[in-house]
């Protein structure tokens, strides 16, 4: 537990910091207004009208009672004025109810629209960021906090609007009370000071707790997923992991529960204590008003008006301060959200970057490239020198962890080399506009995404603007051998894939790979990169897929990563990596003559097939 206490302390947000986060509120409201201006202004207008109704109704109540008292003692009763007053109060009560319902409805609608728009913004922003940011755990915490608080932000919107509404109610009630008896203000102040003290005391603590637990909450989410998802179900069952995962989840959750329970208990305890003081002040005011009424200074109507106003003022003011703390706490989440949206990413503007060549002339060149992943001291690759010539098919070979995928990530500018540089036609690749440069490539990674969408979408993801171009989809499917997968599926191109949704059909590993390769063919890319895309295909399908690939991409530059030497040998040249360095590079024949690692591994695999 001391670790938790410490992290809570470290994350303790003081009142000043919560206060500072309020500066994000104007931006927040600008975003909400943009989502639906008409609804937004209707909401604000409704609230303003609703805010002045309480004081008018209390005043009418006073007039009604005074009129009743008058009529009791009158000889000739004239109830006309009384009925007019009652009818007016009745009308206002109906109006107030309608307004409140309208406000709740528009809050909900605005909230829904706003959370859709923030989710879209978060998705778009995530895609703008570079891989180094995406793979950073601190970034994930920020993303998590930005994403998680969607519903909180909706609550924040109505809280702020209600706060504005209550300020008007408070001012109008204050005017009423001061006009009658300015002394009551002193008692009012006394009655709400305890609430203010309580709120200052606890401000920011729940946020601090939630914030200090961001990492653990991610872990909890992961454990929930690992313990209860179709992807992990097979192994969880087979290895009997369910209890272990459930215990681990429970252990961590209980710690969080205990922390929040302690906080909630403290808050409730102090809250009741301070509230008692406030109630005592209210009753002192009540006694004071009763004395004045008995003494004949106030009428019975005045008594109801004043005690009603005082009571309302007290609860509104209390609500105001409690809500203020809630607002400052939620505004801290707002800070996370806007900080996430404002994260900058490195992309050179097109004005100060070189235009990309229409057609690659010379090719790519790695010069003394070395790389360490961010926050790591280990050289993953070093002293890398090689050329990827225009139109060439180059294969990367090497043991697991040798650095093959890392070289691809560097080539794609997902990361900047730590030392050395990579050139395209003699110019450093980071001199080109990054997003245009990345459009140059068609890539299938070994952990390509199996989108749980339709088969059509899965193929079209390679060039999504062409999703309706049936001819292009057919041709991509034909080239990648995915055609037979499609004809086997009952809904063809419109078949939802994966098990998550209704009618979804899952595919075998090899079938998924064929779909992924079709995705690469969809894009008419200058450079194609296939990072072990055929590992799940059977030997015949793999050879066929590669032979096709070589024919179909005639004249295009390509990099192929594979652990199967029967595939690798088809490439123009082969580069062998060992422990992050280039061990040898050349044609199949040259490398066989070298009699180094390539020849050894080739012979080993060939022997295995005999
Ligand atoms: N995002 C990352 N952060 C830190 N280290 C990483 C990251 N990705 C990979 N590494 C490390 O870099 C080294 C090289 O990994 P890489 O994926 O390039 O190997 P590979 O040759 O493609 O391996 P495989 O054949 O298993 O796919 C490994 O030691 C790995 O642990």
What pLDDT is stored for residue 219 in this prediction?
Answer: 87
Q: pLDDT by residue (tens digit) across 88-131?
A: 999 999 999 999 999 999 999 998 898 888 888 888 888 777 77
Question: Residue 366 belongs to what H/E stretch?
Answer: strand 363-371
Name the residue with the closest Cα to ligand 1, atom 18.
403
**pLDDT confidence of residue 406:** 93
Best mutation site among 369, 379, 382, 401 for ligand 1, i.e. most ligand atoms within 8 A of its Cβ?
Answer: 401
Residues 253-274 have a mean pLDDT of 87
Is pLDDT at 216 greater than 50 in this prediction?
A: yes
pTM: 0.69
Question: Sorting pLDDT into bands at 50, 70 and 90, what band is 1?
Answer: very low
> Does ligand 1 have an atom closer than 6 angstroms to the CB of 564?
no
Measured in Å, residue 372 CA sits from the centre of ligand 1 at 11
Q: Give percent of the chain with pLDDT exceeding 70.
A: 92
CA of residue 531 to ligand 1 center, whole Å: 13
Res. 157 pLDDT band, cuts 50 70 90: confident
In terms of pLDDT, which residue wins out, 26 or 501? 26
Answer whether residue 10 shows pLDDT above 50: no
- Listed residue (442, 597, 605, 425) closest to 528, CA to CA: 442
Rounded Cα distance between 399 and 408, Å, is: 16
CB proximity list for 447: less than 8 A, separation 6 or greater: none
Please report, for the chain, how many H helices and E strands are present, in that order. 24, 10
Backbone angles phi, psi at 401, to 5 degrees: 80, 5
Ligand 1 contact, 610 CB (< 6 A): no
Q: In what order do the strands lie in the sheet with 363-371?
A: 381-389, 363-371, 419-424, 427-428
373 pocket-lining for ligand 1 (C-beta < 6 Å): yes
Give me the pLDDT at residue 2, please.
Answer: 47
| Model-level ipTM above the cut of 0.90 | yes
Tell me the two tokens of residue 185: 């203000």
Instruction: Indicate whether 6 pLDDT > 50.
Output: no
State pLDDT tens for residues 546-570: 777 887 788 889 999 988 887 888 8
- Please write the tens of the pLDDT for every residue from 316-354: 888 888 888 778 877 877 887 888 888 776 555 545 678
For 428, other C-beta atoms within 10 Å of its C-beta total 14
The listed range with the strongest mean pLDDT (21-25, 172-176, 246-250, 523-527) is: 246-250
Contact in structure between 577 and 404 (CB atoms under 8 Å): yes
**Residue to probe by mutation, ligand 1, list 133, 139, 380, 529, most atoms within 8 Å of CB:** 380
Question: What is the percent of the chain where pLDDT is above 90?
Answer: 34
The domains of the chain, with CATH numbers, are 18-213+260-341 (1.20.1560.10), 450-524 (3.40.50.300)
- Spatial strand order of the sheet with 527-531 comes to 441-444, 527-531, 557-561, 393-398, 573-578, 581-586
Nearest one of 255, 258, 250, 205 to 227, comparing CA atoms: 250
> What is the pLDDT averaged over residues 375-384?
92
Read off the tokens for 524.
Answer: 């008419």
Residue nearest to atom 6 of ligand 1 (CA): 373
- Most confident of the ranges 61-70, 149-158, 543-552: 61-70
Alpha carbon distance 356, 348 (integer Å): 13
How remote is the CA of residue 401 from the centroid of ligand 1, in Å?
Answer: 5
**Above 90 in pLDDT, residue 42?**
yes
Task: Kindly give the number of the ligand 1 atom that is closest to the alpha carbon of 396.
Answer: 21
Ligand 1 centre to CA of 168 (Å) is 61
The mean pLDDT value of the chain amounts to 85
Q: Are 110 and 157 in contact (CB under 8 A)?
A: yes
């Amino acid at each position: 537990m001391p670790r938790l206490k410490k992290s809570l302390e470290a994350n303790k947000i003081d009142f000043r910091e919560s206060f500072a986060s309020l500066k994000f509120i104007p931006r927040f409201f600008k975003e909400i207004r943009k989502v639906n201006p008409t609804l937004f202004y209707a909401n604000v207008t409704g609230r303003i009208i609703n805010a002045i109704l309480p004081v008018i109704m209390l005043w009418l109540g006073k007039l009604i009672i005074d009129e009743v008292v008058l009529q009791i003692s009158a000889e000739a009763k004239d109830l006309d004025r009384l009925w007019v007053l009652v009818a007016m109060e009745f009308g206002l009560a109906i109006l107030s109810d309608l307004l409140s319902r309208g406000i709740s409805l528009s809050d909900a609608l605005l909230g829904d629209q706003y959370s859709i728009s923030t989710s879209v913004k978060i998705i778009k922003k995530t895609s703008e960021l570079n891989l180094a940011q995406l793979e950073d755990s601190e970034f994930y915490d920020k993303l998590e906090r930005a994403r998680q608080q969607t519903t909180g932000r909706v609550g924040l919107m109505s809280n702020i609007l209600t706060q504005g509404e209550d300020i008007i109610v408070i001012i109008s009630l204050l005017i009423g009370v001061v006009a009658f008896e300015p002394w009551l203000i002193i008692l009012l102040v006394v009655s709400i000071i305890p609430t203010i003290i309580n709120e200052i005391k606890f401000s920011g603590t729940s946020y601090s707790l939630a914030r200090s637990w961001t990492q653990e909450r991610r872990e909890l989410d992961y454990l929930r997923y690992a313990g209860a998802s179709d992807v992990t179900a097979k192994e969880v069952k087979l290895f009997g992991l369910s209890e272990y995962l459930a215990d681990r989840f429970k252990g961590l959750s209980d710690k969080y529960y205990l922390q929040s329970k302690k906080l909630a208990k403290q808050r409730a305890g102090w809250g009741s204590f301070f509230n008692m003081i406030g109630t005592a002040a209210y009753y002192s005011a009540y006694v004071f008003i009763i004395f004045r009424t008995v003494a004949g200074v106030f009428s019975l109507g005045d008594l109801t008006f004043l005690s009603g106003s005082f009571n309302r003022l007290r609860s509104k003011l209390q609500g105001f301060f409690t809500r203020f703390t809630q607002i400052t706490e939620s505004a801290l989440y707002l800070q996370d959200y806007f900080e996430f949206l404002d994260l900058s990413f490195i992309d050179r503007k097109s004005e100060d970057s070189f235009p990309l060549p229409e057609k690659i002339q010379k090719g790519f060149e790695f010069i003394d490239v070395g790389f360490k992943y961010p926050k790591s001291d280990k050289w993953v690759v070093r002293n890398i020198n090689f050329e990827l010539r225009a139109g060439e098919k180059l294969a990367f070979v090497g043991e697991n962890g040798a650095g093959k995928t890392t070289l691809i990530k560097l080539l794609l500018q997902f990361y900047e080399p730590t030392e050395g540089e990579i050139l395209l036609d003699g110019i450093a690749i980071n001199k080109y506009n990054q997003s245009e440069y990345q459009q140059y490539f068609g890539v299938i990674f070994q952990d390509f995404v199996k989108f749980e969408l339709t088969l059509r979408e899965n193929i079209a993801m390679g060039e999504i603007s062409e999703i309706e171009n049936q001819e292009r989809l057919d041709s991509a499917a034909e080239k990648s051998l995915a055609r037979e997968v499609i004809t086997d599926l009952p809904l063809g191109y419109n078949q939802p894939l994966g098990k998550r949704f209704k009618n979804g059909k899952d595919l075998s590993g090899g079938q998924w790979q064929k779909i992924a390769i079709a995705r690469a063919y969809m894009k008419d890319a200058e450079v194609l990169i296939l990072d072990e895309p055929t590992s799940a295909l059977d030997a015949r399908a793999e050879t066929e897929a590669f032979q096709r690939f070589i024919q179909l991409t005639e004249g295009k530059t390509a990099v192929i990563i594979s652990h199967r030497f029967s595939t690798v040998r088809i490439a123009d040249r082969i580069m062998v990596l060992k422990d992050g360095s280039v061990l040898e590079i050349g044609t199949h024949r040259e490398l066989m003559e070298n009699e180094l690692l390539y020849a050894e591994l080739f012979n080993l695999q060939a022997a295995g097939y005999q």
